[in-house]
Chains A and B, each alone.
Chain A
Amino acid sequence: MIYREAGQFKTSYRQDAAIFPILQDRIAIWFYLFVAFIVIPTFGSDFFINSMMIPFLIFAMASIGLNVLTGYTGQISLGTGAFMGVGAYACYKLTTYFPETNIIILVLLSGFFAAGIGMIFGLPSLRIKGFYLVVTTLAAQFFLEWCFIRVPWLYNYNASGAIEVPQREAFGLIVTGPSASPSVRYLVVLSIVVFLTWIVSNLIHGRIGRTWMMIRDMDIAAELIGVRPLYAKLSAFAVSSYVAGVAGAMLVFFWLGAAEVESFDVNHSFLILFMVIIGGLGSLVGSFLGAAFIWMLPIIIRAVPKMTGLDINASTVEQLNFMIIGALIIVFLIIEPHGLARLWAIAKQKLRIWPFPH
């Protein structure tokens, strides 16, 4: 009976319209933020921060981007990897031209380039749906990959064909490049992710998010009510690609340090799509849960033999990893097709009426 709303009467629609109307939820949010901003940077090892937390947050961000499009607006896309790439290359070009500008601002600006490209490739969604739209987003993926290879201007004509992140400072700290510390990079990534998650959550809980969901659930009725599909779909493509673009820029600037086209290939599009499906379509919490599941579980599985002293060679562990994750995904989708987010909601519901069974 710890988690419950008894005695919390909402006296105005303003309170009731709050995104977290239940006090315990608000406390939980502050608790998570406290852990994320204070506990982890203070006590987390460099390995934990660099190999687990930073990529987890970045992939969660990309999943939120795709979730806006697929989970909330019902438009399936296999171009997430490429839209992340657009953000990364845009950020690289921006910092080349404006080396003095705060890199965090440039990362946030680079999302707009991804948004623009995303809207262009979103135009076909006005005429086609479902499977055919998947094919056009796949075409976008391959076209953009081609650009990342064939337009040397994008990687400043480097002989290697890769973009290498220069050292940049913000607020007097080194935040990018080889000498930036993991905790600093982590805190920058965390701040951006929290900020953009808040923004996306605002959109989803307002008129714009409703028009997205209306299009998703029944586009004809939405139009008869007065939603213009053009605005609804293109705004979803724009927001989705913006978020994916920022995630892509963070991926390179705050985690990989250098990247070429492989970092943005179609495998990454699938990876993000799996995260969204496992986490739960149409759920922001689910985007985090899905990213955690898909990114962290393999690392944990890899660590098991070492910790238990089992002598299994590395490639066998890798194979096992694929099998376990693959099997889990299938089992999971059969048991709970609405993803981890639904399990999370059920658990909370149980907690709300605990200790009574009903």
Chain B
Amino acid sequence: MNAAAPQPYTTEDGREIGGVLMEMKNITLKFGGVTAIKGISFDIQEGEIRAIIGPNGAGKTSMLNVINGFYHPQEGEIVFRGETRSRMRPYEAAKQGISRTFQNVALFQGMTTLDNIMAGRTLKMHRNFLWQLLRYGPALDEEIEHRRKVEEVIDFLEIEHIRRTPVGQLPYGLQKRVELGRALAAEPSLLLLDEPMAGMNVEEKEDMSRFILDVNEQMGTTIALIEHDMGVVMDLADRVVVLDYGKKIADGPPGEVQSNQDVIDAYLGVPH
């Protein structure tokens, strides 16, 4: 069953995937009586696109929340870049280069696209309060240097035209794109995407798929994504882990997972 061995491998399109970036070992997460994750182990390798799939309530979002320190598992440990941790605050996860998007867009609705993406660079800005008071010298230089990076992200995602629009006024599809921009602005080493294409039409999904592939290829960013659309998963993912009722039922390359009987049963709703 545990097909994927944490060893370097070559993807179908010939990219070298090598070295474990993150390893989850025997993670168990409970909310009172509900056990959202039951002893799951899997790994994410440097440079790959790793999909997490499963029916509703399988524990996918909970898993991302564990990875970036928002939930603390009762059991198990997490190894990130060789360092073992059991507890971590989201702030520290962000500092270590983990950034994410949310299942329900979690943008700063009152702020413009530009400010939202600038917000993604918060951790990289260091000029102190006194310089900020004057908005002069180092503080202004810093602001402008980061503005340049943010404009790169804006160009990349093709959202120049909504730069100055408060995101609350944008259609849902664009909001998802801005949220990706905010995560990218942090230049993450691990990017977590929770259903990045939910609620999108076909065209928007194609755009988003292209951006995700480009991020992975051009910036070499490791991506873990949750997605319901099997077609999209087959196209994007290098390896897939399948959850059902908080348990891992399959793990491996998309083609292999798709033909797995347990996975078919889970998706068709065969009683356990």
Contact = CB atoms under 8 A, between A and B. Distances in A.
Interface of A: 12-14, 16-17, 19, 199, 202-203, 205-208, 210-211, 213-214, 216-218, 220-228, 235, 282
A70 to B, nearest CB: 13
Which size class do B's interface residues fall under? 35 or more
Contact of B132 (A202, A216, A222): A202
B239 interface: no
14 contacts: A19-B135, A206-B135, A206-B139, A207-B143, A208-B132, A210-B122, A211-B122, A213-B110, A217-B109, A223-B90, A225-B123, A226-B90, A226-B94, A226-B95
Contact of B115 (A16, A210, A223, A282): A210
B186 interface: yes
A207 B118 CA distance: 9
A13 B144 contact: yes
Contact of A218 (B94, B106, B118): B106
A224 B100 contact: yes
Contacts of B115: 210, 213
A13 B108 contact: no
Nearest to B147: A13
A-B pairs, 7 with minimum CB distance: A202-B135, A217-B108, A226-B94, A226-B123, A221-B106, A13-B147, A224-B90
Interface of B: 68, 70, 90-91, 93-95, 99-100, 102, 106-111, 115, 118-120, 122-123, 125, 127, 129, 132-136, 139-140, 142-144, 147-148, 151, 182, 186
A225 B144 contact: no
What secondary structure prevails in chain B residues at the interface with A? helix
Contacts of A282: 110
A349 to B, nearest CB: 12
A211 B107 CA distance: 13
B135 A205 contact: yes
A227 B142 CA distance: 18
B133 A199 contact: yes
Contact of B129 (A17, A218, A235): A235
Given A220-B106, A226-B122, 17 more contacts: A13-B147, A14-B144, A16-B147, A17-B140, A17-B147, A199-B133, A202-B132, A203-B133, A208-B129, A213-B108, A216-B108, A217-B107, A217-B111, A218-B109, A224-B100, A227-B91, A227-B122
B124 to A, nearest CB: 9
A216 to B, nearest CB: 7
A210 B123 CA distance: 12
A224 B132 contact: no
Contacts of A19: 135
Contacts of B186: 225-226
Contact of B108 (A14, A221, A223, A235): A221
A287 B93 CA distance: 38
A235 B130 CA distance: 12
Contacts of B136: 202
B96 to A, nearest CB: 10
B91 A207 contact: no
Given A208-B129, A210-B118, A217 B144 contact: no
B129 A228 contact: no
A218 B102 CA distance: 12
B122 A216 contact: no
Contacts of B129: 208, 235
Given A199-B133, A217-B109, A220-B106, A225 B122 contact: yes
A221 B122 contact: no
- Among B68, B109, B144, the most chain A Cβ lie within 10 Å of the Cβ of B144
Nearest to A217: B108
B123 A202 contact: no
A210 B114 CA distance: 11
B68 A224 contact: yes
Contacts of A12: 144
B143 A206 contact: yes
A207 B132 contact: yes
B240 to A, nearest CB: 25
Nearest to A220: B106
Contacts of A227: 91, 122
Contacts of B118: 210
A282 B110 CA distance: 10
B106 to A, nearest CB: 4
A220 B102 CA distance: 11
Nearest to B99: A225
Contacts of B90: 223-224, 226
Of B110, B123, B136, chain A has the most CB atoms within 10 Å of the CB of B110
A203 B108 contact: no
B151 A228 contact: no
A206 B126 CA distance: 11
A203 B132 contact: yes
Contacts of A14: 140, 144
Given A13-B151, A206-B139, A213-B108, A223 B144 contact: no
Contacts of B182: 225
Contacts of B107: 217-218, 221
